[in-house]
Structure 1
Amino acid sequence: MKKYSQQNNPKQKSLVAKALDLRVALFATALVAGALFLTSQAHAAALDQFKSFVASTQSAKGEFTQQLVKVESGVSKVSNKSSGTFSFARPGKFIWTYQKPYEQLLQADGEKLYIYDKDLNQVTIKKLGDALGSSPAAILFGSNDLEKNFTLKEAGTKNGLEWLQATPKAKDTTFDHIGIGLRNGVPEAMELRDSFGQVSLLSFTKFEKNPAMPAMQFKFTVPKGADVFQ
């Protein structure tokens, strides 16, 4: 295993560029759905549904799909389709695995974030720190104090879902706002709109709320022979 600094290394720049593209999905990340709530919540306000979900969901696992939508000359074009699995335990522990179209792993143990590119056999390690604060990942992986970093408001009904809009309070974030679509107290979709007018769409399936998770599940082990950048 070799360790490198992040400066002046072409291979590292390639990995970081790739990781930043995927960050749209991760720090985002990524919401996972929870268990079904009472039928009376089916058409409740999105904010009420979402607060109930966050308060009752300490961990979860499931599958996700992601796609990027660009509008060019008034026409929407879908690209960068990907899919994989996830698991998380609040606060700050998660495993986000891309399986298609290529394999990549993003994993956090509550203190550090590890980005592993299987094709390059490279690992990038970053301090988790306050990175989750006003990022989309905070919605999924962070603490329950979302209103500290986001302004939350109702965003109406679309495609059978009640939508909530979360706008980061910080000025230096990549995202203008984040849409969260809920049904029966369960987040089923996310829309991440960045400052360039691009929209990342995420959907979640086969979720399981509060499953039993081994204590060491989120501990990252550097693959044999991998180059490590910090």
Structure 2
Amino acid sequence: MYKMMLVLLVLFTGVANAASNAATQLTQLLDQNRNLEGEFRQVTYDEKGNKVQVSNGVFLLSKPNKFVWDSVSPYAQRIISDGKSVLVWDVDLQQATKKPLSKASNSPAALLGQPAASVLPNYQVSTLGDLKYRLEPKDTEAMFKTLTLAFKGSKISAMSILDGLGQTTVIEFKKVEQHKGVASANFSMAVPSDVDVITEGQ
């Protein structure tokens, strides 16, 4: 019995230390990705692996919680956060929805925009190889099952999300540039006067 307890203690201590090291490494990488600009390609697959949606665009990110996520194809959509609220603007439809940032906390841009120190304690973090990390929510009611982040050097290169319905969203980041700072004016929620804005949850 004593030997078994000792073996279990060593195993669980090793797992805990590995998870702690993975979280520390990921925190350091995310902290280097505080102000980013680049392009993205987002592909969504259904539970059978069939491609159901593809979008391309550009993004701008400034921690904490400020981002612009511009999809330019197949249709134009702009998602903007000023740090407090999120505006989802369907450009072609001339419609926009504004909601508190907390209501969009599971979107890719929102996840990247939050400080690592406040996000990572909510996940079990493990490594999947060199500069690739898997995050599993500790909350059993989370909207997604796993989140995978990959880096090239110090820059984020890919993100993958498996949701509760079995759909997988894969995002590739290209031409990523790191900046020392980004002006707040870049995150303005101003829209043309002919755009119908619906406010939710305020």
**Pairwise same-fold verdict (TM > 0.5):** yes
Q: C-alpha deviations, 1:142-174, integer Å up to 9, x for none?
A: 0121222222112x23xxx64211112223322
Among 172, 192, 197, the alignment partner of 1:203 is 172
Task: Give the structure 1 partner of residue 145 of structure 2.
Answer: 176
Offset of residue 56 of structure 1? 2.3
| Pairing of 1:184-203 with structure 2 (within 5 A) | 184-203=153-172
The question of 1:89 aligning with 2:62 is answered: yes
Task: Give the structure 2 partner of residue 144 of structure 1.
Answer: 116
Identity, in percent, stands at 27
TM-score (norm 2): 0.79
Note closer, same or farther for the CA distance 1:149–1:177 as it changes in structure 2 (3 Å cut): same
Offset of residue 198 of structure 1? 1.3
Offset of residue 46 of structure 1? 6.2
Among 176, 180, 185, the alignment partner of 1:216 is 185
Moved >3 Å (runs of 4+) = 45-49, 134-139
Q: Which has the larger radius of gyration?
A: 2
Task: Could you tell me which runs of 5 or more consecutive residues in structure 2 were left unpaired when the two chains were aligned.
Answer: 1-20
Give distance in 2, aligned partners of 1:51 and 1:148.
10
SS at match of 1:88: strand
Among 33, 37, 41, the alignment partner of 1:61 is 37
Contact 2:122 / 2:139 at 8 angstroms: preserved in 1?
yes
Task: Give the structure 1 partner of residue 16 of structure 2.
Answer: none
* Aligned length in residues: 178
Offset of residue 197 of structure 1? 1.4
Note closer, same or farther for the CA distance 1:214–1:179 as it changes in structure 2 (3 Å cut): same
SS at match of 1:171: coil
Give distance in 2, aligned partners of 1:221 and 1:149.
33
Note closer, same or farther for the CA distance 1:130–1:69 as it changes in structure 2 (3 Å cut): closer
Q: Which has the higher contact order (CA 8 A, sep 6+)?
A: 1
Task: Give the structure 2 partner of residue 5 of structure 1.
Answer: none
Contact 1:149 / 1:170 at 8 angstroms: preserved in 2?
yes
